Amino acid sequence: MIRILTPFIYKKVNRISPSQLYGVLKCPFKMVLAEAYHHKPLVALSPNAYFGSVLHTIIELITNRTIVDLPTFEHYWKELIMKKDNELINEGLDELVPIKAHIKNVGLKKIQLQWLINNKSTYSRPSAGYSNRYRSEMSLFDNTGRIFGKADLVYEGIDYIEIYDFKTGNILKQIFNEGSDITYLIKEEYEYQLKLYAYLYFQMKGRSPDKLSLISLDKKKIEIPFDIGECESLYHKAINILEELNSHSQNGNFKKLAHCAEDNCKFCVYRPACVHYTDWMENNKLVTNDICGTLLSFKVFPNGNTCAYISEGFNTRVISGFNQKHEGSFNSRLNKKLVFFNIQKDKNSTNLIATNTTTVYEY
């Protein structure tokens, strides 16, 4: 439950992938930390993120025809979920096991995946017999080797190319306009990813794809409009940011790369290692879901409830909801500086509650 961070050791970032580009542009330091910590998240993710990786692997197995019917589906469904549970236990995240118990509508997600087995028209052009022209997990890279990624699925016909990416969460984001209007837009990170795939494909094959499509589990297929000039500009942005982040890093100028802001940091999985974020938190208390303070005491009440009392500047904060089994771990750290990541706040922010993804670091 309480972790100690291994020291940050800078490693040069040799390449970035299309799926990372949007995040790297938002905060290049995130990529530096990702490389230093072997791309292993330093905080627990949401159960949906862990389960999403299982769903995505199943989609890959459907598209590469390893899963061809319901019995093979059932076999991999059970096997991959069991594997994920074991991984979570090995990472000390046993409170998230069994992962299925933490996911809403598991049955529906299962049916949606099964539907994909026999309904390839979701991701294919109607009325064409070309099943052997699909390439799943197609590697796409530029001529310098610095931008590299794998597209979930590419259809390569004689006169038609389409690149697909499957998403297990929402593809669209809601924008609230004046009045009560809501507009739905494709998430920018997905647009960046697919447009960069398009340019990599163009560099490799000398031909632009005809269509870029996102496919969600609920059978939505959404086309991303693009022109290849715009994709090329994104590619140059990717190369420039890679050069810039390595140049600043080699001069030890990490501060220049760290773009602290609520939107960037709130879900950054490397924030425990980001000193710039810890400094930023000082003036932005409880803006994100993290809190830093000195542990004053840890109490277990007769009814089994638990509370950690911490001093944060002049305030004493109380965080409830820990598992009793962590009592010894907390009590051995009295008067130590701890940072609690992924804390739930109530509306007025006075009550703080630990969740099953709360991760605590001793500094």
Distance from C-alpha of 232 to C-alpha of 98, rounded to nearest angstrom: 44
Q: Does 306 bind ligand SF4 (CB under 6 A)?
A: no
Nearest distance from residue 148's CB to ligand SF4, in Å?
22
Write the burial class of residue 22 (CB in 10 Å: 0-12 exposed, 13-18 middle, 19+ buried): middle
Distance from C-alpha of 75 to C-alpha of 38, rounded to nearest angstrom: 31
Binder to ligand SF4 among 265, 338, 343, 352 (CB under 6 A)?
A: 265
Q: Does 33 bind ligand SF4 (CB under 6 A)?
A: yes
Residue 54, both tokens: 């299982």
- Single out the segment in contact with ligand SF4 by CB under 6 A; choices: 12-20, 56-64, 141-149, 261-269: 261-269
CA distances 283 to 30, 145, 260, 264, 361, Å, are 21, 41, 12, 16, 20
User: 163 or 245, CB closer to ligand SF4?
Assistant: 245
Judge whether 160 and 141 are in contact, CB under 8 Å: no
The count of chain residues that interact with ligand SF4, using the rule CB under 6 A, is: 15
Judge whether 173 and 184 are in contact, CB under 8 Å: yes
Distance from C-alpha of 328 to C-alpha of 307, rounded to nearest angstrom: 13
User: 163 or 258, CB closer to ligand SF4?
Assistant: 258
Binder to ligand SF4 among 13, 24, 25, 27 (CB under 6 A)?
A: 27
Residue 104, both tokens: 């809403």
Binder to ligand SF4 among 20, 124, 213, 264 (CB under 6 A)?
A: 264
- Single out the segment in contact with ligand SF4 by CB under 6 A; choices: 58-66, 256-264, 310-318, 324-332: 256-264
> x/- contact string, 90-129, with ligand SF4 (CB under 6 A)?
----------------------------------------
Binder to ligand SF4 among 84, 109, 276, 317 (CB under 6 A)?
A: 276
